[in-house]
Amino acid sequence: MTSSPALEKTVDKILNQSENELLLSLNQSLDDSKNTLSNSLSLLEQEYDRILVDGKKEADKLQKQITGSATLEARNKQLLLVEDSVEKVFAKAIEQLNDLVRNEDYTKLVTQLLDESVKGLGTSDVNIECNSKDKSVVQSILSKFSGATLSPNTVDCLGGIIVKSKDGSMTLDNTIDARIERLKPLIRKDIAIRFGR
Amino acid sequence: MTLEGGIEYSKIAEIKGPLVIVDGVDKASFDELVEIQTTSGEKRLGKVMEVGFGKAVVQVFEGTTGLSISGTRAKFIGKTMTMPVSAEVLGRVFDGLGRPNDGLPDPIASKFLDINGEPMNPEQRDYPKDFIQTGVSVIDGMLTLVRGQKLPIFSGSGMSHNILAAQIARQATVIGSGEEFAVVFAAIGVQYSEAQYFKRSLEESGALKRSVLFLNLADDPAIERIITPRVALTVAEYLAYDLGMHVLVILTDMTNYAEALREISAAREEVPGRKGYPGYLYTDLSTIYERAGRLRDRKGSVTQMPILSMPADDITHPIPDLTGYITEGQIVLGRDLFRKGIYPPVNVLMSLSRIMKDGVGEGKTRADHMEIANQMYDAYSRAQEVRALSEIVGKAGLTGVDIKYMDVGDAFEQNVLSQGVDENRVLEETLGLEWKTASILPKGELNKVKDKFIDQYYKAS
Q: For B411-433, what is the mean pLDDT?
A: 94
Q: A116 CB near a chain B CB, below 8 Å?
A: yes
Answer yes or no: CATH 2.40.10.170 is held by domain B7-80: yes
Question: What stretch(es) of chain B map to CATH 3.40.50.12240?
Answer: 83-358
Query: Is residue B151 a contact partner of residue B304, using CB atoms and an 8 Å limit?
Result: yes
Same domain, A83 and A107: no
Q: A150 CB near a chain B CB, below 8 Å?
A: no
Same domain, A72 and A140: no
Residue type, B107: P
Q: Would you put residue B277 in left (φ > 0), alpha (ψ -120 to 50) or beta? A: beta
Query: Is residue B456 a contact partner of residue B432, using CB atoms and an 8 Å limit?
Result: no
Same domain, A95 and A110: no
Same domain, A66 and A143: no
Segments forming the whole domain that contains residue A41: 1-99
Q: For B404-426, what is the mean pLDDT?
A: 94
pLDDT, residue B1, reads 35
pLDDT, residue B3, reads 46
Number of domains forming the structure of chain A: 2
Q: A50 CB near a chain B CB, below 8 Å?
A: no
Question: How many other β-carbons are positioned within 10 Å of the β-carbon of residue B228?
Answer: 27
How far off is chain A from B207, nearest CA to CA, in Å?
7
What residue spans of B268-368 are helical by DSSP H? 281-289, 318-326, 335-339
Closest Cβ–Cβ partner in B11, B73, B105 for A79:
B105
Can you tell me the distance from the alpha carbon of B461 to that of B457, in angstroms, rounded to the nearest whole number?
Answer: 12
Same domain, A140 and A190: yes
User: Testing the interface with B: which of A54, A66, A72 to mutate, by most B Cβ within 10 A?
Assistant: A72
Which of A45-49, B3-7, B309-313, B379-383 has the least mean pLDDT? B3-7
B173-174: strand order across its sheet? B145-146, B131-133, B173-174
- Closest residue, chain A, to B5 (C-alpha): A120
Model pLDDT for residues A12-69, shown as the tens digit of each residue: 999 999 999 999 999 999 999 988 888 888 888 889 998 998 898 889 888 888 888 8
Residue B436: C-alpha distances to residues A150, B415, B444 (Å): 87, 9, 15
How far off is chain A from B3, nearest CA to CA, in Å?
7
Q: Which residues of A are less than 8 Å from B6 in CB distance?
A: 120, 172-174, 178, 182
Q: Which residues of A are less than 8 Å from B208 in CB distance?
A: 68-69, 72
CB pairs under 8 A between A and B: 87
Contact B205 A68 (CB under 8 A): yes
Q: Which residues of A are less than 8 Å from B91 in CB distance?
A: 71-72, 75-76
pLDDT, residue A111, reads 92
Same domain, A144 and A189: yes
pLDDT, residue A1, reads 53
pLDDT, residue B176, reads 72
pLDDT of residue B150 exceeding 90: yes
How far off is chain A from B379, nearest CA to CA, in Å?
28
Give the model's confidence band at B331: pLDDT under 50 very low, under 70 low, under 90 confident, else very high.
very high
Query: Is residue B70 a contact partner of residue B54, using CB atoms and an 8 Å limit?
Result: no
Q: For B2-23, what is the mean pLDDT?
A: 83
Closest Cβ–Cβ partner in A65, A76, A183 for B104:
A76
Q: Which residues of A are less than 8 Å from B107 in CB distance?
A: 79
User: Testing the interface with B: which of A42, A62, A67, A69 to mutate, by most B Cβ within 10 A?
Assistant: A69
More confident residue, B26 or B94: B94
Contact B104 A171 (CB under 8 A): no
* Chain B residues whose C-beta sits inside 8 Å of any chain A C-beta: 1, 3-4, 6-11, 23-24, 26-27, 73, 84, 88, 91, 104-110, 112, 203-209, 424
Q: Facing residues of B332 across strands?
A: B154
Same domain, A5 and A84: yes
- Closest residue, chain A, to B423 (C-alpha): A57
Contact A169 B105 (CB under 8 A): no
Helices (H), strands (E): how many in chain B?
A: 12, 22
Same domain, A38 and A114: no
Same domain, A4 and A94: yes
Contact A69 B206 (CB under 8 A): yes
Model pLDDT for residues A171-182, shown as the tens digit of each residue: 999 899 988 888
Closest CA to B16 of B223, B323, B226, B273: B223
More confident residue, B391 or B221: B391
Q: A52 CB near a chain B CB, below 8 Å?
A: no
Identify whether B253 is preceded by a cis peptide bond (ω within 30 of 0): yes
Q: What CATH class does B83-358 carry?
A: alpha beta
Same domain, A69 and A162: no
pLDDT, residue B2, reads 40
Q: A155 CB near a chain B CB, below 8 Å?
A: no
Question: What stretch(es) of chain B map to CATH 2.40.10.170?
Answer: 7-80
Contact B7 A171 (CB under 8 A): yes
Last-in-domain residue among A62, A84, A99 = A99
Q: For B410-428, what is the mean pLDDT?
A: 94
pLDDT, residue B4, reads 53
Q: Give the CA angle between residues B195, B196, B199 to the nearest 5°.
A: 90
pLDDT of residue B362 exceeding 80: yes
pLDDT of residue B358 exceeding 50: yes
pLDDT, residue B183, reads 94
Same domain, A86 and A145: no
Q: A120 CB near a chain B CB, below 8 Å?
A: yes
Contact A174 B6 (CB under 8 A): yes
Helix (H) / strand (E) element for B353: namely strand B352-353
Model pLDDT for residues B245-292, shown as the tens digit of each residue: 999 999 999 999 999 999 888 888 889 999 999 999 999 999 999 999
Q: Is B160 helix (H, G, I), strand (E, B) or coil?
A: coil
**Which residues neighbour B198 within 8 Å (Cβ) at sequence distance 6 or greater?**
B162, B165, B166, B169, B185, B187, B190, B213, B215
- Whole-number mean pLDDT of chain B? 91
Closest Cβ–Cβ partner in B3, B105, B424 for A120:
B3
Contact B206 A185 (CB under 8 A): no
User: Testing the interface with B: which of A50, A67, A71, A79 to mutate, by most B Cβ within 10 A?
Assistant: A79
Model pLDDT for residues A70-108, shown as the tens digit of each residue: 888 898 898 899 889 989 998 999 888 888 888 888 899
The CATH number assigned to the domain holding A134 equals: 3.30.2320.30
Q: A72 CB near a chain B CB, below 8 Å?
A: yes
DSSP state of B70: T
Complex ipTM, two decimals?
0.74
Give the model's confidence band at B5: pLDDT under 50 very low, under 70 low, under 90 confident, else very high.
low
Same domain, A1 and A94: yes
pLDDT, residue B26, reads 81
Residue B28: C-alpha distances to residues A126, B52, B59, B63, B77 (Å): 20, 9, 13, 21, 9
Model pLDDT for residues B188-203, shown as the tens digit of each residue: 999 999 999 999 999 8
